[in-house]
Structure 1
Amino acid sequence: MKKVSLPESVTFPGKPTPSAAECWFDDACILDMDYFVKTIAGIKAKGVRPDFIGSIIAHHASKWLPDLSNDDTTRKGLINNFEESPESVTATWMKKRFFVETLVGILPPEKDSIPCNFLLRLLRTASMVNVESTFREELEKRISWQLDQASLKELMIPSFSHTCGTLLDVALVSRLVNKFVSLDSEGVKSGVALIRVAKLVDCYLAEVAMDSDLSLTDFVALAGAIPTHARATDDGLYRAIDTYLKVHPGVSKQERKILCRLIDSRKLSPEASHHAAQNERLPVRAVIQVLLSEQTKFNRQLDWSGSFNGTRSSPNIGLDPQVRCVSKRENNAQLMEIKKLREDVMRLQSQCNSMQAQIERMVDKKKGLFRWKKLVMMPSFMSNLSVDEKIEEVEREGEVGFGRQTPMNIKTKLVRGRATPNKWRKSMS
């Protein structure tokens, strides 16, 4: 095979300039993998940028392996040509495995030199042909560095393991997310990248939740891999949990509570909160938390709107913000409330007046009875007491007998009052 030398000034595919490198690459017709590896090593030695080298590898891999092509039309044509090959299935799989392992070995070590979607397609092929664990771990590490650039379509990698019952490889995605979160905790990734990954995981959960063979442990592990502060809103997570509960009606009450603990009711939108309040699949405690969160939000909105109704004064009157005009409906509601309060005050005042009059009548009646009792039942022994002691004794008797004076009680007391002085006189003699 004739060796083709690389021109000094060359541009590679994927760039806005003319595709001279692509023409060179197609004309070279490189069929020998060893020669391709040597060519890539020569390009690296010339100091070519890593992203250019990555574009060459992606272009060559798409030509050789249909699964790595991004274009669906090109992929179908390559697959048809690939199926017409007279090679056996075992030989084809061995060829694919050797090809993937070779590509992983010549990838540039620099980060972001290879597109994340291409790496995901390469990882899917690697899982399909069961490459060595070292090459798989290398791919997972590279993908975790740029997981925020991945798309949902490429992330949905099928499960090729016989021990896994799910259609998609959920464990693989969980490993990728955990590695990415560990990088974020070390301060390597920014918060924007974490937010993108959180949205991607919520969309992936909504898709994988439709699999009836997905276990609760795998679902909770993937949903809990994202920190709570990474989700600006929990609507996507709530949609995924609701889908899981629909597909898995046999979930127990305790398992439903475990799922609902993943949701922060304060981060739900009004539409999601309204749906959750009427969702019969959620436990009662979760529904109550949603209702309380909505009530708290409503109170805060009232407090916030009240601050613009002229209740707060500022020393700079000319600089105050424009006061919000009160609507006619709000004004009528306030007038009705004031009218209701006035009626309540008047009713309480009337009750107080009637109670005061009743107390005065009872006091007058008590005073009349006490005077008569004092004249009739004044014992002789009180002559030896002082004036203050006599007053205290009369008041004490009045307090005890207040409100319980009847004709029979008065008659009984009069009879006792007549009999007792004789005994006291005998004891005094």
Structure 2
Amino acid sequence: MDRLPSPDSASFLAANCWLDDACIADIDYFVKTLSGIKAKGVRPDLIGSIITHYACKWIPELSGEPSSPVDTDHQPPPESATASWLKKRFFIETIVSVLPPEKDTVLCSFLLRLLKNANMVGAGSNYLEELEKRVAWRLDQATMKELMIPCFSHVRGTLLDVELMSRLVKRFVEINLEGLRSGAGLFKVAKLVDAYLAEAAVDSELALPEFMELAGAVPAQARATDDGLYRAIDTYLKTHVNVTKEERKTLCKLIDSQKLSIEASLHAAQNERLPVRSVIQVLFSEQAKLHSHSNWSRSITNTKSPSPKIGSGPPDRCHSSRDIMTLQQIEIKQLKEHVNKLERRCHLMQSQIDKLVEKKRGFFSWRRLATSANLGAVSVDVADERGEGKGYDSGSIGKQTPVKGKQGRSKTPKPWRQSTS
């Protein structure tokens, strides 16, 4: 190729078609051609697309698509495994060395596939470090599928390269703390880490320090909710049954019980794998949430405006309408549960009151019956005395009746006393 296309020409914008020419058959010649293109002042994003297309052409695994069937008629003679491995390693190292210095010129998915293959062929440490820096810079754009990089080390027995993931997350957090990137991507990375931990926790060879190191690599404020972290920890405890009580306590300290949803809190309250202290903290947190939401709703009803301001309630993590609607739905659900509890207590108290009233009614009816029987006996005695002609008036009858009743009972002892004599 004697003449390179102009950077502003239409032929250069169709760089992918130009690279399909059979003249580019050697990587050394490709590097020289790429250097000439850079000297023309081509934009870095176009150079990145050229490198991506060329790499995917010679290593189909880098494209992320299923490989097409091989044409055996025009296939070159097979090489030995060692020669193929060395050739692939040299090619990957060369591709890394010609990447533009700007870190936003190549997609993160392509960089992750390149990093996976570089680990597979055992590329040099300086090339791996350069790839890790570039991936960490755009980690918030990664997908869960591309992050599942196997562990190719003979020393560690885990299925996934958890240490590599920890290094990427730590680099990304450092970049955000330095203010080089916006903090919005930190929430995406936190979700990716929790999902990654849930997948890695199934591996029985994953040690507790590695799990905790990756879980603690994300700042606590980056997690809007700890449901994903709780799921990962529960999966780890379910797989690793030999974890001691102290290790369980240390692991559960990573969870903020105040950031758990209602569903996660209910699951944690009945989870036998968690320490008792963690379960108690979850219960106390739910009780505190219920009181705070009930107080907040009570204050809202007392205000004149029907729609509360964002700053009038409990502190929100985000001020978006979606978060406010979610918070209102949670509040309504908790209030319904609280009302149902109060109704059950009212029904229980009402049933107890009814039982007490029935007991009192039975007691007073029996007392009236006994009183009426005694009055009937007294009237009979008075009638008998009147028949004897003793001439008592109405006033003396009331005074003498109890005495005569006693005398009558003493004169005529009951039959059981006679039987005993």
TM-score w.r.t. length of structure 1: 0.69
Matched, 1:243 2:228: no
Residues 4-403 of structure 1 mapped to structure 2, 5 A cutoff: 5-10=4-9, 20-72=14-66, 75=67, 77=69, 86-310=78-302, 320-321=305-306
Instruction: Give the whole-Å Cα distance in 2 for the aligned partners of 1:65 and 1:206.
Output: 31
Aligned-partner Cα distance in 2 for 1:152–1:82: 37
Query: Residue 398 of structure 1 corresponds to which residue in structure 2?
Result: none
Contact 2:7 2:40 in 1 (8 A): no
Deviation at 1:111, TM superposition (A): 1.8
1:42 maps to a residue whose letter is: G
Paired residue secondary structure (2:116): helix
8 Å contact from structure 2 (residues 61, 113) kept in 1: yes
Deviations 1:81-109 (A, max 9, x none): 99985100000000001001100100000
Q: In the alignment, is the contact (CA less than 8 A) between 1:66 and 1:78 conserved in 2?
A: no
- Give the letter aligned to residue 5 of structure 1: L
Unmatched runs of 5 consecutive residues or more in structure 1 = 14-18, 313-318, 344-429
CA shift in 2, pair 1:80/1:293, >3 Å: farther
User: For 1:11 and 1:259, how far apart are their aligned partners in 2?
Assistant: 59
Is the alpha carbon distance of 1:8 and 1:142 closer, same or farther for their aligned partners in structure 2, counting shifts above 3 Å? closer
Distance 1:81 1:136, change over 3 A: farther
In the aligned structure 1, how far is the partner of 2:168 from the partner of 2:181? 14
User: Cα offset for 1:192?
Assistant: 0.8
Structure 2 vs 1, CA of residues 4 and 24 (structure 1 numbering), >3 Å: closer, same or farther? farther
Task: Spell out, residue by residue over 1:320-353, the C-alpha distance to the aligned partner (whole angstroms, 9 max, x if none).
Answer: 4389xx99x79x96x969x99xx9xxxxxxxxxx
Cα separation, partners in 2 of 1:78 and 1:39, compared to 1, 3 Å: farther
Give the number of equivalent residue pairs.
Answer: 321
When residues 80 and 257 of structure 1 are mapped into structure 2, their CA distance, relative to the original with a 3 A threshold, is: farther
> In structure 1, what is the Cα distance between the partners aligned to 2:4 and 2:182?
42
Structure 2 equivalent of residue 416 of structure 1: none
Please state whether the residue corresponding to 2:301 is helix, strand or coil.
Answer: coil
**Alpha carbons of structure 1 residues 12 and 236: separation in structure 2 relative to 1, 3 Å:** farther
Is the Cα–Cα contact under 8 Å of residues 198 and 231 in structure 1 kept in the other structure?
yes
For residues 149 and 222 of structure 2, what CA distance do their matches in structure 1 show?
24
1:251 deviates by 0.9
Q: Aligned-pair RMSD on alpha carbons?
A: 3.0
Greater alpha carbon shift after TM alignment, 272-281 vs 180-189: 180-189
Contact 1:66 1:79 in 2 (8 A): no
Distance in 2, Cα, partners of 1:273 & 1:163: 39
Per-residue deviation at 1:20? Answer: 2.4
Q: Deviations over 1:236-284 (max 9, x none)?
A: 1111111111111111111111110110010001011111111111110
Q: Given residue 55 of structure 1, which amino acid in structure 2 is its aligned partner?
A: S
TM-score norm. by structure 2 comes to 0.71
Q: Percent identity?
A: 58
Q: CA contact under 8 A between 2:7 and 2:42: conserved in structure 1?
A: no
Partner deviation per Cα, 1:381-404 (whole Å, 9 max, x = no partner): xxxxxxxxxxxxxxxxxxxxxxxx
Runs of 4+ in structure 1 over 3 Å off = 7-13, 76-85
Change (3 A) 1:107 1:80: farther
Displacement of 1:43: 1.4
